[in-house]
Amino acid sequence: MRSTVTISKKIFILSILGLILLASCSDDRLETNELIGRWNWLSSTGGIAGTTYTPENTGDEIVIEFTSDSVFRSYLNDSLMMESAFSIQISKSIYNQDSTKILVFEDGYMYQSFEFESPNELILRDEAFDGFISHYIRLK
């Protein structure tokens, strides 16, 4: 009888661990899927001076793209400026010290935390004290 209880407990514990692992994996896929697509830059604020830049005051058009095969691309006035593999990691953010989803770029570009104001509004935050916070809108 004791071995049956022990086996049942092990199966129960393994099942719970499997559900936790499955839930955490599906959450990362959800966030990645929400990022997939092309995003048009609206504004960036930050730096030491706290300056705000927009397409109107810079004359620049910036489009970023996240692909389903985990490639990030950044375009400035239709010219490819950066291409890198990316992943999402859970780490502490400098903004709130909570565990946050962070974009990590293979080429060593600055880590960025991200959030969605709506399904079509993306906010990227440089994980640096004098970094920028940039707003994007999804291109259709």
Q: So what's the pLDDT on residue 37?
A: 96
Q: 48 and 29, same structural domain?
A: no
pTM assigned to the model = 0.75
Residues in contact with 105: Cβ distance below 8 Å, sequence separation at least 6, in sequence order: 72, 84, 85, 86, 111
Q: 63 and 4, same structural domain?
A: no
- Given the structure tokens 């199966």, which residue do they identify? 11
- pLDDT higher than 70, residue 83: yes
> Percent of the chain at pLDDT above 70?
77
- Torsional class of 49: left (φ above 0), alpha (ψ -120 to 50), beta (otherwise): alpha
Q: 78 and 41, same structural domain?
A: yes
Q: So what's the pLDDT on residue 127?
A: 93
CATH of the domain at 74: 2.40.128.20
43 touches 134 (CB < 8 A): yes
Q: 92 and 130, same structural domain?
A: yes
Q: 73 and 61, same structural domain?
A: yes
Domain count, the chain: 2
Domain that holds residue 86: 36-138
